Amino acid sequence: MKLSVIFINHNSRNGLRLALNTLFKAKSSVSFEVIVVDNASADRSLEMLSFEFPKVQIIANSRYEGISKCYNKAIRAANGDYVLLLSPYSLTESNVLEKLSNFMDQHPLIGGASIRAVDYKGDYLPQSKHSLTNAWARFLKFAGLASCFPKSISNEHRRADWVEEFETSEVDVLYADNMLLRKSAIAKTGFFDERFKSYGHNIDLAYRLRQQGFKTYFYSKTYIIQLPGKVISKFSWDRMSHFYGAMFIFAAKFLFKLPVINIHDIGEIYPSQYEIE
């Protein structure tokens, strides 16, 4: 099995249905499986999956669990060489699986990659490349951890240059809404840290991958359409506690006993390119 596609679903039945339909209708020569972790949905998502998508492997949680724990369950069950983590509001283009699989096959030092994301109008979503938010950037600077993310915390952070959309290049942080991982790299690095319930899991994993000598990249030669998801209250207590709590968890892991990243200079393994293939 070449690729395992993983969705975490919580009351997102309609979005998940659309995501699965586009995935299965796409022409693909790559062997793949689909795993859905249903996170205690109450919108009949399980019935929809069982009736409309019998080939999908379902992991049903009886109670709501953090996203890291859900992903770990699915990755352990996955048979693919690579795992593609998608939100249930992600639509894939026709040849995305082949391009992603070939990219990882050709570059064995890459442990994880984010994929260029666009909205439903086709406009580029820069957060798919610059996944470190301003709040995280300020916190890491304040905590003295900015040197761990030199490509994210710089004068060019979130630059407006349109060219970057089509530039495949190394990044510090993987995009939480679409993430391609090499399963053998996860076996070496370790799974998602389940203390990160909703936020920070992508930042922590990307950092640990780089500690183990792997590269993390932004891949621009295909795209994923990111539909608007459920509206979450910006100032809810749960959101704020998980968001800022993730920062303190990360600092507790690495600030007081900061591991040394020992990566030999191997040069650029995937030269920057601006053309669309």
pLDDT (tens digit per residue) in 26-72:
878 899 999 999 999 999 999 999 999 999 999 999 999 999 999 99
Answer whether 0.95 is exceeded by the pTM: no
| Residues 248, 264: Cα–Cα separation, whole Å | 30
User: How many CB atoms are located within 10 Å of the residue 187 CB?
Assistant: 10
Given this model, what pLDDT does residue 277 score? 42
**pLDDT for position 26:** 82
Strand partners, 112: 181, 216
Q: Which two tokens stand for residue 27?
A: 């022409």
Lowest mean pLDDT among 79-83, 163-167, 259-263: 259-263
Helix (H, G, I), strand (E, B) or coil at 179: strand
Percent of the chain with pLDDT over 90: 60
φ, ψ at 274 (rounded to 5°): -105, -15
Question: Up-side HSE of residue 261: CA atoms within 13 Å toward CB?
Answer: 19
- pLDDT band, very low/low/confident/very high, at 226 (cuts 50, 70, 90): very high
> What integer is the mean pLDDT of 202-215?
92
Run of H or E residues at 217: strand 215-226
Under 8 Å between Cβ of 99 and 30:
no
In Å, how far are 26, 54, 193 from 13, measured between CA atoms? Answer: 20, 15, 27
At residue 272 the predicted structure's pLDDT band, cuts being 50, 70 and 90, is very low
The CATH class given to the 3-254 domain equals: alpha beta
